[in-house]
Amino acid sequence: MSIRFDENKKTFTLETAHAAYQMMVDRDGFLLHLHFGDKLGGGSCAGLLDTGYMDFSPAPDIEGTYRNYTLDLLPQEYPVFGAGDYRSHCMNVTLADGARNPELVYASHRILSEKPVLEGLPGLHGACETLEITLRDRWTDLEVVLLYSVFAEYDAIARSARIVNRTGAPIRLHAALSVCLDVQESGFDLIHFWGRHVMERQVERTPITHGKISVDSVRGTSSHQHNPFVILCDHMATEDAGRCWGVSLLYSGNFVACAEEDQSCSCRVTMGINPTGFEWRLENGESFQTPEAALVYSGEGIGALSRRYHKLYRRNLCRGEWALKQRPVLINNWEATYFEFDDDKLVRIAEQASELGVEMLVVDDGWFGNRFDDNRALGDWIVNTEKVRGGMGKLCERINALGMKLGLWFEPEMISEDSELYRAHPDWCLHAPGRGKSRGRNQLVLDMSRKDVRDCIHDMMYTVLSSANFAYVKWDMNRHLTDVWSAELPADRQGELYHRFVLGVYELLERLEGEFPQILFEGCSGGGGRFDAGMLYYHPQIWCSDDTDPIERLEIQYGTSFGYPISTVGAHVSASPNHQTGRTTSFHTRGVVAMSGTFGYELDLRKLSEDEKEQVRAQVKQYHRQYSLINDGDYYRLLDLTAQKDISAWEFAAEDGSRALLNIVYIHVRGNCPPPVLHLRGLTPDASYRLTEDNGREIGVWTGAALMNAGFRPARSNACYPAGATDYAAFQIELERID
């Protein structure tokens, strides 16, 4: 059993492979947090609750005139607004009589042998135990059911809350967050991931001082600007040492993560749906389910935390046929043709790709309706037979005859004003009547909360996808939400629209993916604008960024690796000079960087030199040979890109230590600067390893202990510095254990 309840001490203890999570019901019935960290050896942490007295921190009514008790100082599992705790809260509710001060106390609990499905929302799956604790307002029949699913192998706890109205009258939710983590210490940092379009998930580490640090999105999606994943860690925590707590929200809409150090020098982290713009009317008998948050603990540094998330999400979040299946190497026509293509041009690209070993052609934007630029036709998901003569079925036959698969791009949540769909249904876009419309990329957003809208989009997509043997869909979203108003909702329920939009997108994805289980769906939102754990439940891979410059991608993929598996990272070799930055890099460097992802090409293969074509053949073979190591192996960040910007190095190691792949990119070479000393990881200490450069040259043999403890210094060989190259040189070293 990973979940134990001590009836005498009223403590719940949840145990994982390396950690324990403990909470207790106190004498007044409040559910208080005690510990999430290293194992306790069966002990109790109740002694941490003696917080003492502090003026201006009131005691609840049940304590009478006793002053030495206050919720304002106590660590709680689900703090609420108005009950005497003035810190960040998880729930804010107005009851029918206008009262806003519920007191949630323990009512009951159940231990389940499986994980309940969260209706309409993504969630972790697989073998686990679940603790369900019901809290009830001391004054009414408002209930909050807290769910804790224990994934012991990954030191992970999946948390969510279900708010149930049994009060006999409607109530209004103003905040309904998913998780609170109270740590009764100070001295922590918050690691979060900020960015912008074509520069997503930049790592920022900030000391938590008195006051609040908040990262959030009110853009209708998780966004390029902030990611719904944060790490709380010791000030001195490194990749290999220190305590770390990850909080990852399985949600793709507006979110907020807040970290604060309070007056008693304790730390609190909360995360969930952003209360800004949110309000939910809950009728009597109805319930509201919050999104799930995945908490992971590591006492062995940030790297171990990342690897636990990687395995958890690969095995217990991604679903379907493609969750663990080897993905095909693809060529996307976008940077080769943009909107200027027809079926013959696409087939010529596929012919060249097939000769080089590429396995799939993806037809990007421009195949539908009157789509000759990005100002029209979104919503008209009907094949343009002037561009694709004979329809998609005929094109697919020609592509399949070359031994290749066919994929297709959609942007289902958007609509152009210059479209047949908009002319027929102008009320289907998000907009408030009598007001102007905001445009992004000259397009509007469909009201995905409406079933009639989703049904229409579904039927058009179903018709296209049924017409050919498609193997892949790229699901894009190229603007954020504004004018968030729905003709289907009354005025007093417009605050529900942001969340209903996300639920609508999830519903459409669930329907289509159930109908086409053989299709690999890849997510995209102007690149990485919706790269979150919620989307990974539907898309086992997501286009990491619209920036395909390999040097920029080093930082983007570095930041992404803290919380998301390599197998989910869409990464391609693109043209040089790069279309986003104008930077020139070698074909080899582009391949090394893109190989730390799902791997493919986004350029016109017909314009490559014979030498570059040979490199494509070699890269595809190399990726196939190393696929299981890259996508299923343990990932190690060997150099800190936030501390220095000159060199990037990372490693993939097999779980059994049998082999590894070392990747190095020289971003900026300095005069007479010696090569770095790299401490490798994941090797068998008392075994020997043969090291071979990617050009086939054997470097030598070292023991695993020497490579990990003393380190390895790559030589300044011609493999590192091809003729004329300085900055941006890259190479790979393979390590094979000698049995």
What is the distance between the alpha carbons of residues 271 and 180, in angstroms, rounded to a whole number? 7
Would you say 102 and 139 are in contact if contact means Cβ atoms under 8 Å apart?
A: yes
Q: Which residues contact 96 (CB under 8 A, 6 or more apart)?
A: 167, 168, 169, 170, 171
| Rounded Cα gap, residues 350 and 333, in angstroms | 9
How far is Cα 554 from Cα 544, in angstroms, rounded to an integer? 11
Amino acid identity of 554? L
Q: Which has the closest alpha carbon to 441: 410, 414, 472, 420?
A: 414
Active-site residue, from 38, 374, 510, 612: 612
d(CA 414, CA 136): 42
Helices 343-355 and 391-401 meet at what angle, rounded to 10?
A: 20
Task: Kindly give, in sequence order, each residue whose CB lies less than 8 Å from that of residue 514, ignoring residues fewer than 6 positions away.
Answer: none
Residues comprising the chain, all counted: 739
Using left for φ > 0, alpha for ψ between -120 and 50, and beta otherwise, residue 41 falls in left
Q: Give kind and range of the element (H or E) at residue 510.
A: helix 497-515
- Residue 426: what residue type? P
CA separation for the pair 50, 64 (Å, rounded):
18
Among candidate residues 19, 457, 479, the one with its CA nearest the CA of residue 224? 479
Residue 612 annotated as catalytic: yes
Sign of the CA dihedral with 275 first, then 281, 282, and 284 last: positive
CA 89 to chain centre: 24
Coil/strand/helix, residue 456 = helix
Q: Yes or no: say if 193 and 202 are a contact pair by the CB < 8 Å rule.
A: yes
Cα separation, 235 vs 189, whole angstroms = 6
Contacts 24+ apart (CB under 8 A), 432-440: 432/483, 432/485, 433/485, 433/487, 435/483, 437/483, 438/482, 438/483, 440/478, 440/479, 440/480, 440/482
Reply yes or no on whether 532 is catalytic.
yes
Query: Cα(491)–Cα(207) distance, rounded to whole angstroms?
Result: 42
Q: Give the helix, strand, coil percentages of the chain, each rounded to 5.
A: 20, 30, 45
Q: What kind and span of H or E run contains 129? A: strand 129-137
Sign for the pseudo-dihedral over CA of 640, 641, 642, 644: positive
* CA–CA dist 512, 233 (Å, integer): 40
Cβ(602)–Cβ(335) below 8 Å: yes
Query: 77, 189, 532, 734: which one is catalytic?
Result: 532
Structure tokens at 309: 């998330």
C-alpha count within 13 angstroms, C-beta hemisphere, residue 238: 6
Q: How far is CA 122 from CA 105, 249, 293, 668, in A?
A: 28, 10, 10, 42
Cβ count within 10 A of residue 181: 23
Token reading at 140: 């009414």
Number of H helices, E strands in the chain: 12, 37
* Three-class SS of 520-549: EEEECECCECCCCHHHHCCCCEEECCCCCC
Q: Is-contact 690 738, C-beta < 8 A? A: yes
* Catalytic machinery residues: 532, 612
